[in-house]
Amino acid sequence: MNSQFKLASLTVAAAALLSACGGGSNPSTDDSPPARGTLELGLKAGAATAAQIDLGTAAKGVQALTGKAACDVDVRYVYYWTRDPQGLPATASAAVLVPSGTAAACTGNRPVVLYAHGTTTDQAYNIADIQNNAEGSLVAAFYAAQGFIVVAPNYLGYDRSGLQYTTYLNAEQSAIEMIDAMRAARTHLAAESAVKPSAKLLLAGYSQGGHVAMATQKVMERDYATEFPVTAAAPMSGPYNLVGFSDTIVSTGPVNAGATLFLPLMLTSYQKAYGNIYTSPSDVYAAQFAATSETLFPSKKSITTLIQEGKLPADPTFTNLFGTGGLLNPAFKTAYPTSNFRKALQTNTLLGWTPKAPVALCGGSNDPTVYFTNTLQAQADFFSRGKSYPASNLENSASMAWAGQVTAATIAGGFAQAKTATSAAAGGGAAGAAAVQGAYHGTLVPPFCNALARGFFQSVLAAQP
């Protein structure tokens, strides 16, 4: 995909804005802070033709899921004001992917997918850079190229945000950032785009983004129902039952893949939000990691470099939390059951509420990173209050029957084939099994769940005037 507006130029423009705004989180005390969702900068950052999108999806082997692109895609970038967990003004950015072209699906007022991305440790993460951002290119192909406007925040702490940490898995705060991105996107599109957002608002997200999408639905329906009536939501592979998930990891195990990356993000997020997770980082981190872990992520350095510098455990599975060479202080595990950290997890667990708009959940039951029990427990919790929502398990075609038998069989069969191909590419056997496990959460599941999510959205839209 060739960018018509070089992203380097976008960086210069954003840097100039930061200079004018003093970095984002400390505006002049002489003036009232900008209102939430105030647009500071809106740019057309690039474009991709339908042919370019098709080349990309064919090369990645996902075109059977995405379908051929119906629209070109304009890539827009918004930089806007939101609030940090203390209620102070802070800056963040988002991608706005807009269908374009002459086909009816690419013009006029289009439904909006407000999309929440998965966990990243890369401080420079920018989902608008669809040439280099895998998740950005995926949502462009699945949604924008099929006639949906996509608004995808980068979250506080990433890209050109003025915040020096990220508000990881803070449910209420994440919803605020999503809502303010929508406000900024609406302002930008009203002034700069012939294609406008319709009243149909669809929420989606993967992994961390699954939690963010569900939190956003909860907060929108509770506090912003007039401004943002939700049409449907499709959270995917998210840690909805944070406290139950963590209880399993700390007590019986196993520790999930990626835990040594997720814990620093989460501990810093909750310490900044609540101020009572620890008195000193050494209360929770092992001695060799205590000096650097609090400010480790988001980082401008690669994970490999951080391991080489001794700032993370030298463990390729990223599961070494406890024991020799582990990330955490042994006292953390002992104190966990009554700790303020566990209380923060309970605060941000997304059980015990009742959605109003329809929901479809998705994941894979062999996920080593975000256990599928999170999805099943969310489904059961909703069912206990009279809401029957599908929870698609890519390993089980029967769980996808709601989408139609042909679709269910196609998705389940395609997922099985993708796993087989991943294993074969690694030589099969133990190496192949390890390759499948390593690719399961981040690579294998997302396209199949997004295919189901888009189909769900299309069915909901077709049933509404």
pLDDT in tens, 78-108: 999 999 999 999 999 999 999 999 999 999 9
pLDDT grade for 12, boundaries at 50, 70 and 90:
very low
Sheet with 109-116: list strands edge to edge. 39-48, 72-83, 89-100, 149-153, 109-116, 196-206, 232-236, 361-363, 391-393
Radius of gyration of the chain (CA): 21
Q: How far apart are CA 256 and CA 42, in angstroms?
A: 39
Eight-state DSSP code of residue 255? P
Reduced to 3 states, what is the DSSP secondary structure of residue 136?
helix
For every residue of 151-216, DSSP letters joined together read: EEE--TTSTT-S-SS--TT-HHHHHHHHHHHHHHHHHHHHHH-SSEEEEEEEEEEETHHHHHHHHH
The average pLDDT across 301-313 equals 98
Q: How far apart are CA 224 and CA 201, in angstroms?
A: 12
Eight-state DSSP code of residue 33? P
pLDDT grade for 22, boundaries at 50, 70 and 90:
very low
Structure tokens at 441: 């959460």
User: Cβ contacts of residue 55 below 8 Å, gap of 6+?
Assistant: none
Query: What pLDDT, on a 0 to 100 scale, did the predictor assign at position 11?
Result: 38
The average pLDDT across 109-138 equals 98
Amino acid at 357: A
Mean pLDDT score of the chain: 94
367 touches 445 (CB < 8 A):
yes
pLDDT grade for 465, boundaries at 50, 70 and 90:
confident
31 versus 292: the higher-pLDDT residue is 292
Query: What pLDDT, on a 0 to 100 scale, did the predictor assign at position 32?
Result: 85
Cis bond upstream, residue 254 (ω within 30): yes
Cis bond upstream, residue 89 (ω within 30): no
Query: What pLDDT, on a 0 to 100 scale, did the predictor assign at position 1?
Result: 34
Beta strand 196-206 with 149-153 is unpaired
pLDDT tens column, 215-270: 999 999 999 999 999 999 999 999 999 999 999 999 999 999 999 999 999 999 99
Integer CA distances (angstroms), 350 to 16, 216, 232, 326, 355, in order: 39, 11, 17, 29, 11
CA atoms within 13 A on the CB side of 113: 34
User: Cβ contacts of residue 199 below 8 Å, gap of 6+?
Assistant: 229
Q: How far apart are CA 210 and CA 215, in angstroms?
A: 9
CA atoms within 13 A on the CB side of 311: 17
